């Protein structure tokens, strides 16, 4: 049986020059900043010292991608997320950096700002891009219990009587430093806002995928609808598996929640498990599946 062949990847075996999600200004449920050392080792094996492009079709907080960019290990980043809120946040940070920095320093970190921001995020018709939407997304991400999660309240609760208050994760200086550092590298980042598989297909048309690494961290099959504003149908998860199985991209690594559908979709690839330390308010540690293209 395939399951018996599952490898457990010991992440402590990889050098750890990066600290968690250090470069990304986001807190992210399921964020993969902690995989940076493993991804770095993977790039070294595959690209023999030359700097590849790095693409994240479901980028969220792009924890690993931004760590690798700042470390100078990748040439061009392609970040895509179907959620216009996330896209607007990235675009606002990278293309209106000074305005974003000014707002980080001046925004009142209060329940009123949190309420106003949340109302903006829940608007039914969202613009393609909007600075205010982007900043509201970032603000809610930094001041809510679980980052960008539907239904999670402000840090410290509505009464603000807890030990942690709403500004516990809003260290202005530290956040400004991250945004400034990424803003300075904006020429190396290409942003887009579309379905992840469409993004992969388009990338394949415009880039040489032989020099591009795809790090694919789709919304969870099991809890996707609960954690993120945008989710994926089971058919869409299958389409992605078919696209990868067809050999369209030579270099990819994929992480997923441990779900029977995922095990079935990727049964022809070597199956690995990794420990995922969640930094959500409900602290839990689970295993996720990890697959990767073979190295030819």
Contacts to ligand SAM by CB under 6 A: 28, 30-32, 58-64, 81-83, 86, 195-196, 217, 219, 228-232
Task: State the sign of the Cα–Cα–Cα–Cα dihedral 144, 146, 148, 149.
Answer: negative
Beta strand pairing call for 272-277 and 7-8: parallel
Residue closer to ligand SAM by CB (options 68, 166) is 68
Q: Considering the complex, what minimum distance in angstroms separates the CB of residue 13 from ligand SAM?
A: 21
Name the residue among 174, 213, 265 with its Cα closest to residue 36: 213
Residue closer to ligand SAM by CB (options 47, 228) is 228
Q: Kindly report the length of the chain.
A: 296
Residue closer to ligand SAM by CB (options 37, 196) is 196
CA atoms of 143 and 167, how far apart (whole Å): 6
Look at the block and give the residue holding tokens 């996720």: 288
Residue closer to ligand SAM by CB (options 73, 111) is 73
Residue closer to ligand SAM by CB (options 89, 209) is 89
Q: Considering the complex, what minimum distance in angstroms separates the CB of residue 110 from ligand SAM?
A: 26
183: Cα separation from own chain's centroid: 18
277: Cα separation from own chain's centroid: 15
Q: Considering the complex, what minimum distance in angstroms separates the CB of residue 108 from ligand SAM?
A: 27
Residue closer to ligand SAM by CB (options 60, 134) is 60
CB atoms within 10 A of CB 98: 10
- Angle between helical axes of 172-183 and 84-95 (0-180°, round to 10): 80
Name the residue among 12, 30, 32, 7 with its Cα closest to residue 22: 32
Q: Considering the complex, what minimum distance in angstroms separates the CB of residue 266 from ligand SAM?
A: 16
Residue nearest to ligand SAM (CB): 60
Q: Considering the complex, what minimum distance in angstroms separates the CB of residue 169 from ligand SAM?
A: 15
Name the residue among 274, 294, 275 with its Cα closest to residue 285: 275
Q: Considering the complex, what minimum distance in angstroms separates the CB of residue 32 from ligand SAM?
A: 4
Residue closer to ligand SAM by CB (options 28, 114) is 28
Q: Considering the complex, what minimum distance in angstroms separates the CB of residue 144 from ligand SAM?
A: 15
44 neighbors 71 (Cβ within 8 angstroms)? no
């Amino acid at each position: 049986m395939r399951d018996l062949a599952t490898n457990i990847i010991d992440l402590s075996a990889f050098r750890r020059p990066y600290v968690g999600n250090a470069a990304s200004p986001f807190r992210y449920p399921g964020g993969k900043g902690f995989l940076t050392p493993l991804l770095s080792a993977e790039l070294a094996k595959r690209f023999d010292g030359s700097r590849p492009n790095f693409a994240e079709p479901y980028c969220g907080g792009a924890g690993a991608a931004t760590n690798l960019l700042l470390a100078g290990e990748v040439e061009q980043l392609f970040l895509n997320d179907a959620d216009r809120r996330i896209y607007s946040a990235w675009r606002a940070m990278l293309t209106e950096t000074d305005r974003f920095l000014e707002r980080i320093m001046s925004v009142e970190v209060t329940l009123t700002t949190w309420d106003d921001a949340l109302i903006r995020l829940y608007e039914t018709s969202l613009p393609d891009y909007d600075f205010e939407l982007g900043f509201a997304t970032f603000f809610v991400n930094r001041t809510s219990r679980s980052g960008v999660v539907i239904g999670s309240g402000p840090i410290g609760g509505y009464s603000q009587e807890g030990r942690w208050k709403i500004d516990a994760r809003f260290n202005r200086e530290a956040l400004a430093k991250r945004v400034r550092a990424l803003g300075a590298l904006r020429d190396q980042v290409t942003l887009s806002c579309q379905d992840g598989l469409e993004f992969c297909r388009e990338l394949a048309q415009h880039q040489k995928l032989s020099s591009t690494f795809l790090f694919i961290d789709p919304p969870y099959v099991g809890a996707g609808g609960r954690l993120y504003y945008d989710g994926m149908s089971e058919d869409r998860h299958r389409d992605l598996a078919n696209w990868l199985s067809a050999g369209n991209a030579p270099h990819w690594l994929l992480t997923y929640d441990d779900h029977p559908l995922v095990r079935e979709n990727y049964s022809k690839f070597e199956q690995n498990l990794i420990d995922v330390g969640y930094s959500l308010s409900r602290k839990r540690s689970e295993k996720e599946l990890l697959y990767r293209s073979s190295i030819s």
